[in-house]
Amino acid sequence: MPTVAKTFYFAYSHRLQGHPGLCKNYHGHNGKAEIRVNDQVNHTTGMVIDFDDISQTVGKWIKENLDHSSILQVGDPLLEGLPGHRVTVLDGPPTAENIALLILIKARNFLNIHDISVKVWETDDCWAEVP
């Protein structure tokens, strides 16, 4: 089955409460998300999906919600100190895995396609992928 992919870049800050290493400190990343769509080629359009459809839905959501945002966990005391700032709150720790899962859920809803995977790079050499 063919796969098409679209990549988006976003800057974000986060911290991992209770983490034994440096990630317990509030810090930022220049992240990258790759949305991969696996499906049959539409014989009328010749495409699995139009790249612009991914950009106008998932890409727009990433830009409006994750780019230049603080991504924090429910109950993080930092949430009270960021009034007026763009904040995305996750039920679990804001790891690359959980950010990828959040984007995957949004992508499936926007594109109405189940066979999607998302890969999120936290740094140039560290990434997480969810199918």
Structural domains in the chain, CATH included, are 3-130 (3.30.479.10)
> Cβ(103)–Cβ(85) under 8 Å?
no
pTM for the complete prediction?
0.95
Of 81, 99, 97, give the one whose Cα is nearest residue 89: 99
Mean pLDDT for 6-11 is 98
Residue 82 has pLDDT above 90, yes or no: no
Residue type at position 4: V
Residue 116: predicted pLDDT: 98
Q: What is the pLDDT of residue 69?
A: 97
pLDDT bin (cut points 50, 70, 90) of residue 89 is very high
Half-sphere exposure of 108 (CA within 13 A, CB side): 12
The mean per-residue pLDDT over the stretch 100-117 comes to 96
DSSP single-letter state for residue 15:
-
User: Is residue 123 packed enough to be buried (19+ CB in 10 Å), middle (13-18) or exposed (0-12)?
Assistant: exposed
Given a contact cutoff of 8 angstroms between Cβ atoms, the answer to whether 28 and 11 are in contact is yes
Q: Which of 68, 45, 57 is nearest to 6 (CA)?
A: 57
For 38, the 3-state DSSP assignment is: strand
